Chains A and B, each alone.
Chain A
Amino acid sequence: GAGVSQTPSNKVTEKGKYVELRCDPISGHTALYWYRQSLGQGPEFLIYFQGTGAADDSGLPNDRFFAVRPEGSVSTLKIQRTERGDSAVYLCASSSRPGQGNTGELFFGEGSRLTVL
């Protein structure tokens, strides 16, 4: 597609449930990022993939959070045993490799709003 696509756009779940959020990056973009944005805050880094591998997962808050990108394109963010504090907008972004006239800047999707009751 033309832009970064995220599904679902809204997800309401109960405390303790398992959640998966999907990101479809811009075609050809090698890098993919997950950010979390709480109300009134800027986006906070979670994890970054270069191809299929996680190049930096230092932002994942704990081991309930996990992300995969098995074929180097679509990525899934997985949250186990959700807690009320996980409620936020989860943003995905992708970028191309710097060079050949581009600077590798991030293009964001519209986000998946997660509400944990």
Chain B
Amino acid sequence: GQQLNQSPQSMFIQEGEDVSMNCTSSSIFNTWLWYKQDPGEGPVLLIALYKAGELTSNGRLTAQFGITRKDSFLNISASIPSDVGIYFCAGRTNFGNEKLTFGTGTRLTIIP
């Protein structure tokens, strides 16, 4: 099935550094979501975006819904060890109960 393109595929950073990752699609979405997945767990929702151009924060996380509705960005400031994991973007065509299309994931590793 279709998957959205995420970059980078993996990141190796030091604790305290800021992180940026993005997600692009060939088609338009009306909702963009960012999830984090830890090993052996299901994805957990971090941030949801519902309007083109919207910039939303959740603690140290900030995400933006691209103006073209074909991309989204996630930034993490001052990374801490518990930020380690895999981050997935997801898009949805319509507001409400409907399937999500996920990205390929960005694996974040913190170097001691």
Contact = CB atoms under 8 A, between A and B. Distances in A.
Interface of A: 4, 30-31, 33, 35, 40-45, 48, 50, 55-56, 59, 91, 93, 95, 97-98, 103-111
B97 to A, nearest CB: 4
A42 B102 contact: yes
A56 B99 contact: yes
A91 B99 contact: no
Contacts, number: 68
B99 A33 contact: yes
- Name the interface size band of chain B: 20 to 34
Contacts of B101: 45
B99 A93 contact: no
B8 to A, nearest CB: 14
17 contacts: A4-B42, A30-B97, A40-B105, A41-B105, A42-B6, A43-B100, A43-B102, A44-B102, A48-B97, A50-B97, A55-B97, A56-B98, A56-B99, A95-B97, A104-B96, A104-B97, A110-B41
Contacts of A42: 3-4, 6, 88, 90, 102-105
A106 B45 CA distance: 8
B44 interface: yes
B interface: dominant SS: loop
Interface string B17-45: 00000000000000001000000111111
Interface centre among B1, B6, B88, B102 (most CB of A within 10 A): B1
Given A43-B88, A105-B48, 9 more contacts: A35-B102, A41-B105, A42-B6, A42-B90, A43-B43, A43-B102, A56-B98, A59-B1, A103-B95
Contacts of B6: 42
Nearest to A109: B42
A110 B6 CA distance: 23
